[in-house]
Amino acid sequence: MIFLKRKRMFLLGIGFLLSSVFVHAQAIPDQSNFTISQVWALADSNNKKMQMQGLNVQATDVHVKVSKAERLPEIAAEGLYAHVFPLPIYENGLFHTPSQFPVAPTYYKAGADAYFNIYNGGKTTIEINASKVESELSRIQKSQSKQEIHYTAAVYFYDVFRNISYRALLEQDIRDREKQLAEINQLYKNGTILKSDVLRAELRLSKQKMLLTEIENSIGIAKQKLNILIGRADDAPLNPQISDQETDAIALKQVDEYFNDAKISSYKIQISEKEQALAKLKLKNVKSNIMPSLGFFGEYAFAYPQIQFYPYALSLYSNGMVGLKIKIPISSWYTNQHKVKEAEIKVHQQEIEDEDVKDHIRQEVQENYIRYKESVQRITLAEENIKQAAESYRIVQNTYFNQLSLLTDLLDAETQLLQSRFELTTAKVNAKMQYYQLQKAVGNL
């Protein structure tokens, strides 16, 4: 009796332990399943190109501080120690023995100087503004790179999804063809058909299996590309999770609304505008070359011996001065003209390039808008083609096994049905990618 109770308690404990393990296993999400949003999040944090762009943003931010530091006074300290050679004096000419003037053999000097810029034609302000624009430009370029990586990740992601869908369709087709081959072999044994029909069916099956191998390889290649892009191990498991709603057609706005969105959100337009602003700042900087510069300076030094002023003295002395220093670049008045002309041409060139970018964006938005609507129509057509191909296959299959049609007709009908299913998957993926292209052109991806 005691043994039975202990056994019952032991079994209950094992059952509780197994149920706990099962519940815990259900609570842990599958680390190989990814949605497109999760893939994009991994790309944002792990992609090496994004990391380089982040460092570039940091560098431009620091450069703004470097430019602002130009407003601070320049302060320097210096020291000098020297051995002074004897001073020969040629009283009777160079070719006669000179007399030696006594000099102190040791000379040293220690001092400091400072310069504070008061006005330099606005060059410092222009440099600060240019560095700020460059910092903003680097952020826009980072966002543009992020968008490009999102699109590339989507291409790889849906490439994996498409080939996995192909594989599922082909595996089902191979199972159907194996069953069909068994029926054809039975007809051959009964003497109803020729051996050539069996060979054709076997050839078709072997081609399907080879195609399955190619699809498996394509899945592996696309997975590796995506894993590298999002910073995972090459062979890390990855299964795209796509709901049926994600492949449904998306209602579009009017094309003019996308044009207006692109004017605000397109990264290409924003980059072009910042480059135009930089060109104008460079022109202002070149024009300021002819402006005078004014600054406050001061210096103080200790030296030994005193040989700067007469009479000389073998004693330690100190000397200092403060004042204003002005510099007028007279030569720039005639050498700067060509530099200004060059900078003006660059500004005009950038303005034309900006218009060209906007034209290209309008064309890109228009094209992707039309292509997306076309891809949605292809989905509807592919769905209709599957219905027709399935009905055609059903009819030909019945007629073949009733000896009313040829095997070639049956194989053609099978191929058409499988191809129609492939085309539906392709149409759905292409429509999704076309929509992403439209969003990328607008700047909303």
With respect to residue 288, please indicate whether it lies within any of the assigned structural domains: yes
Written as six digits, the tokens of 96 are: 């006669």
Mode of pairing for the β-strands spanning 33-34 and 239-240: parallel
Written as six digits, the tokens of 260 are: 């207006």
Written as six digits, the tokens of 409 are: 């007709």
With respect to residue 164, please indicate whether it lies within any of the assigned structural domains: no
Dihedral in degrees, nearest 10, Cα atoms 208, 214, 217, 223: -90
In Å, what is the CA distance from 231 to each residue of 41, 49, 51, 58?
A: 11, 11, 11, 22
Candidates 339, 380, 364, 192; CA nearest to 263 is 364
Q: How many residues does the chain have?
A: 445
Under a CB-based contact definition with an 8 Å cutoff, are residues 82 and 107 in contact? yes
Number of domains in the chain: 1
With respect to residue 5, please indicate whether it lies within any of the assigned structural domains: no
Mode of pairing for the β-strands spanning 293-304 and 239-240: unpaired
Which 8-state DSSP code applies to residue 69?
A: G
- On the CB side of 42, CA atoms within 13 Å amount to 19
With respect to residue 198, please indicate whether it lies within any of the assigned structural domains: no
Under a CB-based contact definition with an 8 Å cutoff, are residues 358 and 269 in contact? yes
With respect to residue 343, please indicate whether it lies within any of the assigned structural domains: yes
Residues lower than pLDDT 70 in the chain: 1-31, 246-247, 310
- What is the reported pLDDT for 341? 93
d(CA 435, CA 441): 10
Under a CB-based contact definition with an 8 Å cutoff, are residues 68 and 61 in contact? no
d(CA 393, CA 407): 12
With respect to residue 225, please indicate whether it lies within any of the assigned structural domains: no
**pTM passes above 0.85:** no
Q: What is the DSSP string of 97-165?
A: PPEEEP--SEEEEEEEEEEEEEESTTHHHHHHHHHHHHHHHHHHHHHHHHHHHHHHHHHHHHHHHHHHH
Side chain identity, residue 250: I
With respect to residue 368, please indicate whether it lies within any of the assigned structural domains: yes
Q: What is the DSSP string of 287-344?
A: HGGGS-EEEEEEEEEEEESB-SSSSPBSS-EEEEEEEEEEE--TTHHHHHHHHHHHHH
- What is the reported pLDDT for 310? 65
d(CA 357, CA 144): 15
d(CA 212, CA 169): 10
**Residue at token pair 């060209």:** 356
Calculate the CA 15 to chain-centre distance.
Answer: 52
Q: Which domain holds residue 253?
A: 248-292+331-444
Written as six digits, the tokens of 104 are: 């102190």
With respect to residue 71, please indicate whether it lies within any of the assigned structural domains: no
Peptide bond into 88 cis (omega under 30): no
Candidates 107, 109, 89; CA nearest to 99 is 89
User: Burial code of 179-198, b = ≥16 C-beta within 10 A, e = fewer?
Assistant: ebeeebeebbeeeebeeebb
- Domain CATH number, residue 365: 1.20.1600.10
